Copies of this chain bind each other. A is one copy, B any other.
Amino acid sequence: MSVTTNANDTTRAATRNTIQRALVLEAVRSLHNHPTSADVYEVVRERHPNISRATVYRNLGVLASRGDVLRVEVPNGADRYDFFNEPHYHALCRSCGQVSDVDMPYQNDLADQVRDAQGFAIDGHQIIFEGLCPSCQKR
């Protein structure tokens, strides 16, 4: 019987483990400050100078859709990435745009408090706290 490739493994799409992808993942895991794609690019480039921005963007996308990293979509700013993958909330600095994790219980039943969502089928939420980060408070 000729089984072509690995027809049994339907759990994950065929993806390749390239050096670039591994370096991108490693960079996000090592940077605990919600790096932007530009931050990741700079770090990866130290070890792999020829990598292109497009590859970083593409791999951040792949890793995020796999759940290996968390994409934090910041209003009016570059996306940021988080090595921490449990659902949680973020604080955004109004002044410098820095993002931090916020330690607060996850509100699993928040949508229950919604009285009317104009017919939307709500399946998730995010909370972004706004304020000033420690260093911007001092200025």
Contact = CB atoms under 8 A, between A and B. Distances in A.
A131 B127 contact: no
B103 A120 contact: no
Contact of A117 (B110, B122, B126, B129): B129
A92 to B, nearest CB: 9
A126 B76 CA distance: 14
Contacts of A133: 118-120
A27 to B, nearest CB: 21
Contact of A126 (B93, B103, B128): B128
Interface in A90-126: 91, 93, 100-105, 110-111, 113-126
Copies assembled? 2
A75 to B, nearest CB: 3
B117 A102 contact: yes
Contacts of A5: none
Contacts of A124: 129-131
A127 B129 contact: no
Given A76-B79, A103-B116, A119-B133, 7 more contacts: A75-B79, A91-B118, A103-B114, A104-B115, A120-B133, A124-B130, A125-B129
